Structure 1
Amino acid sequence: MGKPSLFSGRSTSRHRIRAARELNVSHSTVLRRIEQFETILGSKLFKKLQRGYELTAAGEQLYENGQSIEINIDQLLSQAEGHHDVTQGKLRISQPEIGILNIYPLYAEFKRQHPDITLEIQSTMAAHNLAQQEVDIVLRFSEQPPELLVGRLIGTVKAKAYASKHYLKQLPKNHTSKDYDWIQWQRPKSVPASNWVKDNILNPRIVFRTPHMPDVVSAILSGIGVGFMSSHEAAQHKSLVELFDGEIIATYPLWMLTHRDLRNSERVTTFMRFMAENLHLD
């Protein structure tokens, strides 16, 4: 539950209109209902200021209590959904960025087999919170998944160094790794592949940096330089050449997980079973 819409100084009118739109009523009706609610409670929830509306102490307390109530309601609804023995409805899935793992062909096959299930896919390296019901299933890189989650280890994604055939043709005939232009994947946390470059290449020439793996893949395919990507993704591009004798630079265990409250959901178990049988990484 977000901060009350009639809150935020100079942008109060905009938030009031947005709240009215979400409730499908006029903004004057929103104000009137707040006043009615305050009358029932016998307590003021908002202070009207020149710059807009501000929560009172009672309003702040109600907001904090409401957050915990909403989380409990979401969990109860999730538990109830988890006991529905149906293979239809919405299934929210969080997966790694495209360029690390392309499983859309499997999504297509799953949809052919289960046309009544709607897939909502979020491609991100951020960790969605299953405990707060942000998604139903996550495909997550982890050495040890959280205790509240259940699932299985799908396999290991291997990172290797690649360059395009076009890029390599432009290098000197007797080139070495010192001649490479490097493409770097910037992540908030330390990336083993980036550390490998520092440890093995003297004064590496970094020519391209990006925080997004799809951009790394595009840069390698475009002939900008050498970079690291998953062998699973690289296998789909015939124009790429595996470097350093196919040395595995880093490995990332991939888990498929759901919240334990959803372990009896037919939608969830059907999808997880399908992926376990059809997604092959090793």
Structure 2
Amino acid sequence: MFDWNDLRHFLAVARTGSTLAAGHALRVSQTTAARRIAALEQALGVALFERRQSGYALTPAGEALRAHAEAVEAAASGFADAAAKQDREASGTVRLSAQEIHAITVLAPILRDLHQAHPAIRIELDTSEAMRDLAAGEADIALRSVRRPSGGGLVCRRVADEPWTAYCSRSYAAANGIPENVEAFRRHTLIGGGGEGIWRIYRNWLAQHGLESSVMIQHGSLTGVFAAVRSGAGIAVLPCFVADADPELVRCMPVPPNVERGVWLVTHERLRHVPRVRVVMDFLAAELTRVARRQARD
């Protein structure tokens, strides 16, 4: 079986009459063009050109095969055009699963820009606390905050690290100051909660520092904790990826080193090449990565 790419060299030499000119046209060396022609002739067992002092001339066999090579070239070009059209015309519904806190903060402006760039794509945003089963088709794409997504057949992109630290609002800081160390947190109002999984981790952090009794407001969701901090009600530990994107919030403690958790975009391998899913994955990955890099610079 011959190399399909050799047909490009065959047509270039047939059209220009020399391996030098064909090499220029294909941006390869003359030696490469000549080697490709020789390899194609050997694979086919047919002499395609007569080597003359003035250049390369098609043999009768070469003339007979030229039309077939041009048909292959046209088919390849048509294939590429059709693929590009699929990408340009990506349309339909993409079901995106994300935590509510991500949906109302970093994702909101990104989804606005996605719609402007690809108006034929419709996003169904699922902010359920339940982790959707991508293998079972419960969602097309998921934005997850985990150490590493688990499950068979998943295609994952880590778009950001996700350290957590304590935050308050600018108005709270102006009225009450910012605690300079963990001991100073005892003189401030702390906000707890965030949902079962988050509260378990958060409560352990409070217990380690003897701060459980300082929690005066508790919310059942991370969105509630975020809103309470933003309102100036007190201090809470929040994900930096979300909190740093809000100009109203300020850090009360440094970001811890050695971050294990990350923000991941996840889809299933059976969907990764579906045009509308690929477009949304690529767009979200680029924009979320840009947000993370901007935060790292700041």
TM-score range, shorter chain: 0.5 to 0.7
* Corresponding position: 1:266 with 2:275: yes
Q: Distance in 2 between matches of 1:255 and 1:102?
A: 14
5+ long unaligned stretches in structure 2: 1-85, 294-298
1:202 Cα deviation from its structure 2 partner: 4.4
Structure 1, residues 163-216: CA drift from partner, whole Å, max 9, x if none? Answer: 123334444899821112111124323643332221123453111111212211
* Corresponding position: 1:234 with 2:243: yes
Single out whichever of 164-173 and 175-184 deviates more from structure 2.
Answer: 164-173
More helix by share: 2
Q: Closer, same or farther in 2 for the Cα pair 1:264/1:219, shift >3 Å? A: same
* Corresponding position: 1:97 with 2:71: no
Q: Distance in 2 between matches of 1:249 and 1:204?
A: 29
Which of structure 1's runs of 4+ aligned residues deviate more than 4 A?
172-175, 246-251
Equivalent runs, 1:39-118 vs 2, <5 Å: 87-98=90-101, 101-118=105-122
Q: Give the number of equivalent residue pairs.
A: 199
**What is aligned with 1:46?**
none
* Corresponding position: 1:184 with 2:192: yes
One-letter code aligned to 1:105: P
**What is aligned with 1:141?**
145
Q: Distance in 2 between matches of 1:265 and 1:173?
A: 49
Equivalent runs, 1:127-138 vs 2, <5 Å: 127-138=131-142
So what's the TM-score if we normalise by structure 2? 0.59
**What is aligned with 2:168?**
163
Q: Closer, same or farther in 2 for the Cα pair 1:107/1:173, shift >3 Å? A: closer
| Contact 1:192/1:249, CA 8 A, preserved across alignment | no
One-letter code aligned to 2:101: I
| Contact 1:262/1:268, CA 8 A, preserved across alignment | yes
Aligned to 1:213, which of 204, 218, 222?
222
So what's the TM-score if we normalise by structure 1? 0.62
| Contact 1:157/1:230, CA 8 A, preserved across alignment | yes
5+ long unaligned stretches in structure 1: 1-83
Q: Closer, same or farther in 2 for the Cα pair 1:117/1:99, shift >3 Å? A: closer
Aligned to 1:126, which of 114, 124, 130?
130
Percent identity, aligned pairs only, is 25
Single out whichever of 189-198 and 86-95 deviates more from structure 2.
Answer: 189-198
Q: Distance in 1 between matches of 2:110 and 2:178?
A: 41
Higher relative contact order (CA 8 A, sep 6+): 1
